[in-house]
Amino acid sequence: MSAIAVQPENTGLSSKIKSWMDAKAMLLPTYAALVIFVGMLIYGQAEYGLIVSKGAMQWGTMSNLLINNAHIIILAVGMTFVILTGGIDLSVGAVIAFSSLSGVMLTNAGVNGWLTMVIMILIGTLFGLFSGVLVQYFNVQPFIATLATMFLARGLASMLSTEPQRLSDDSPIKLISTDIKLIDGPKVNDLIVTPGVLIAILVVAAGWWTLHRTRTGRTIYAIGGSETSASLMGLPVVRTKLFIYTISGTLAGIAGLVYTAELGKAQNITGVGWELDAIAATVIGGTLLTGAFGYVLGSVVGALVLGLMTVLITRNGAIPAEWTTIITGAILLVFVLLQRAITLRKK
């Protein structure tokens, strides 16, 4: 009798342990991304004095990492929303090209700079809404819908200009790339941020709050789990799917604004492949391609991993720049296989 009484207790404990392990297993890709990031920092410090050199903090490294990848972080937040529902957005890079070219040409034509910035963001919003309508009301697969939007935006950008358009020095858009010194380091090793970096931080914070503190966020996760079940539960599936693609497009417009301000020019080939960088950052950060699981902060880590990898390859000098794409593809493949293994284990 005592043995029979103890058995349910052990079974309950085993079940709790198994549930805990399953939950932690889903976080394994995010932990792996953090380990890779820390490992690259350690390697960079050992080989190039990336963090501390000659007894002085190299604040410039962190500054450049944040400034140069602010636009990818913004894109990754939008891509996280889309992938959480089991969708994809291939249009964001082309949307950035059209948005940035439009903004530069408008401001150079004498349109108010602040109004131009709003127009750049609204252009992204309209493209995102267009993709959402194709997906939701015309039942087009997200891959095809956003691919069509990508070709549309890239074609319109090429119609605007096939030559680089330089931003005028007095344009208000350039204020977004103004240096803000946080720490006065030795020589040029200051810790600097720009309004573009602050915008990226605000986007990340807003994305985290939306996903984890609002009904919309819960609906996004539910759609990723099962759109049919979400509809049967009375959740606003149609409105939410339109929202996520609109948000992705809006953030593409914001990313275009931030990048244009930093670079000071725009052209029709801007953003080629950036949608893949955003997808890679999101997947490396632990968001499942099948949807329903992932975190905005994980996507930020993924974006920083890709950015730091570029820094290390540049510092090395012996590795061709083309290898950046190959290494990114290899890392992405490893994380996709890891996700697959975790998903199968959970089933």
Confidence check: pLDDT of 74 > 60: yes
pLDDT digit string, tens, across residues 255-267: 999 999 999 999 9
Asked which of 120-129, 302-311, 320-329 is least confident by mean pLDDT, the reply is: 320-329
**Token digits for 31?**
């932990």
pLDDT digit string, tens, across residues 208-251: 999 999 999 999 999 999 999 999 999 999 999 999 999 999 99
**pLDDT above 70 as % of the chain:** 91
Instruction: Write down the pLDDT at residue 11.
Output: 52
State how beta strands 56-57 and 52-53 pair: antiparallel
Give the gyration radius of the chain's Cα atoms: 22
Instruction: Identify the structural domains of the chain with CATH numbers, from first to last.
Output: 35-288+296-346 (1.10.3470)
Secondary structure (DSSP) of 2-27: HHHHHHHHHHHHHHHHHHHHHHHHHT
Please tell me the distance from the alpha carbon of residue 178 to that of residue 185, in angstroms, as a whole number.
18
Site of tokens 């632990």: 286
Confidence check: pLDDT of 347 > 80: no
C-alpha dist (Å) from residue 145 to 1, 128, 151, 226, 246: 64, 10, 10, 20, 13
Instruction: Write down the pLDDT at residue 7.
Output: 46
Cα 53 off chain centre by: 31
Query: Directed axis angle between helix 2-26 and helix 28-48, to 10°?
Result: 50
